Amino acid sequence: MLEIAPNGCLVHAATPTGTTVSVWGRAGEDSLRFLVQNPTWNSLQDGGKYDLQVGFDGKSQFPLEAVARQNLDQDGPGLTFAVSPAAEKEGVNFLDSFAAADGMHISQDGKRLETMALKDNRTAMGALAKCLSMVYQSMANAAAAQTPDGSAAGVVEVSADATPL
């Protein structure tokens, strides 16, 4: 599902095992944020840092530092991490791998925490990129429409097939 906020966009999906994966970005930020949640992850230490390895379809493992969050919402505790669109390991791009993958595997210290099927991932990431582009353009248009006294000359709306945040 794609959601739009005034300065960003979010895509998320739930797996049959109860894990929810959310990816969001804000116009002008350097990285996309990932949040992986599962109601059974109660042993996570809120604010704790976890060294993870994230891999796709049995290929390259990307080392990432995640921060645990306990009290988020009905999807349960989770791990959040940021990924730059340019993030690579041995010439393999993280976001390209994520968008093309049928599955994502998250491990810590060699132990698999979660394996998730990623259905229609390329479509979701394409929708996220298009949404962020529209939001960024809307913000640029709004800034250009400012009058010399700093007030807005008009209202710019972003339209897309999405649910508002």
Contact 104, 55 (CB under 8 A): yes
Q: How far apart are CA 106 and CA 53, in angstroms?
A: 6
Contact 52, 64 (CB under 8 A): yes
Contact 22, 73 (CB under 8 A): no
Distance of CA 5 to the CA centre of its chain: 14
Structural tokens at position 85: 């669109």
Q: How far apart are CA 134 and CA 37, in angstroms?
A: 28
The string of pLDDT tens digits covering residues 73-112 is 888 899 999 998 888 888 888 888 888 888 888 898 888 8
Residue 7 to residues 55, 69, 154, Cα–Cα distance (Å) = 30, 23, 17
The string of pLDDT tens digits covering residues 35-63 is 999 999 889 999 999 999 999 887 778 99
- Please state which of the ranges 6-10, 38-42, 115-119, 160-164 shows the lowest mean pLDDT: 160-164
